[in-house]
Every structure is written in structure tokens, then in C-alpha cells.
Amino acid sequence: MGENGIMQRFRGSYDVKIDDRGRIRIPSRFLYVFDSMYGNDIYITSLNGDYIMIYPVRVWGKIEAKIEGMGVFNPDLDEFSNLLSYWGTETEIDSKGRVLIPPGLRKIAEINDHARIFGKANYLIIWNEENFKEKEMKEKFSKEKLYRVSGVINEFSPLSSDE
């Protein structure tokens, strides 16, 4: 929990620079969430190379536990797990708030000198900004998509005012 007892989340996006060693500096707002909720241990991976995902190890461990608990062979889940493991590496945020992005991940995601880092509630993603605009912002977010997303969001009961 944060100072005011509210659950801290990764929100918004920031432009980040990649230094000559392949490190990014995590924006201070995101560092605050790591410090208050998760610690410095992280898992960095990608699924298909479009972008890089940074999970706090505590969050990643919950995903692994769900996969492990399935106990059945599922080809899609197996492929999902294989890809995340192939690109994945466990590391930590250094004392200056930087993270080394492995060269193979930087190359596949086309992360060079600048990138965009996005908060996704309990993890982060890093995009090459031009690729993000091309793949994610090419079309307007339609009313039909909004309706489907609203349906998913509304499946959960709203929080009371004291939560």
C-alpha cells in the first residue's frame, strides 16, 4: 500500500532513453510503486517481440503459479510459456533506478536510443514509439470495442467508497 493506504499501480506512460549499455532509467513514479509494493526484483520478457514486458517478480510468480496449477497439457499455454521463457530473464532494478534490457530483446523490439514505457496496473511494457503508433494507434478505438471492454469491466462488482 502507498502512504495513504491506497494500492499503488503503474499508470500512464513516459518517454525513456536507452543508454550506451542498453539500460533504461525507470521513471520516478514507477520506481515509487516498485519501492512501496514490490521491491527491485523483476522479470523481463516478451511474447512476440512487439514490446518488452517488465514484471515485478512477485507478480510474475503469481502468473507462474496459475500456469503450474493448471496441471493439464494445453498446446497454447505451452507455447505461451515457452516464448516467455525464451525471452525472459530475472534481474533487478539497480540503485540508480536503471534496468539492463538484454540485447536480444532490444533488437527484436527495435528499442534503440528512445522508447516509451507504459504502466499496465501491476507491470510495465516498453515499446518502440513508432511501432506502437503503427500497431496500436493505426485505427480509432471504436464504439464496438468500447462496448466489449465495458462488458468485461462491468462483470466485476464496483468497489464500495471505503475500499
Per-residue pLDDT at 163: 42
Per-residue pLDDT at 162: 44
Per-residue pLDDT at 95: 96
26 contacts 93 by C-beta, under 8 angstroms:
yes
Per-residue pLDDT at 38: 96
pLDDT in tens, 31-61: 999 999 999 999 999 999 999 999 999 999 9
**Grid cell listed for 142:** 471504436
- Percentages (nearest 5) of helix, strand, coil residues in the chain: 40, 25, 35
Task: Collect the ranges in the chain with pLDDT lower than 50.
Answer: 1, 157, 159-163
Model confidence, pTM: 0.84
Instruction: Report all structural domains of the chain as residue ranges with CATH numbers, in order of start.
Output: 13-154 (3.40.1550.20)
Per-residue pLDDT at 161: 44
Per-residue pLDDT at 7: 67
The CA-based diameter of the chain, rounded to the nearest angstrom, is 48
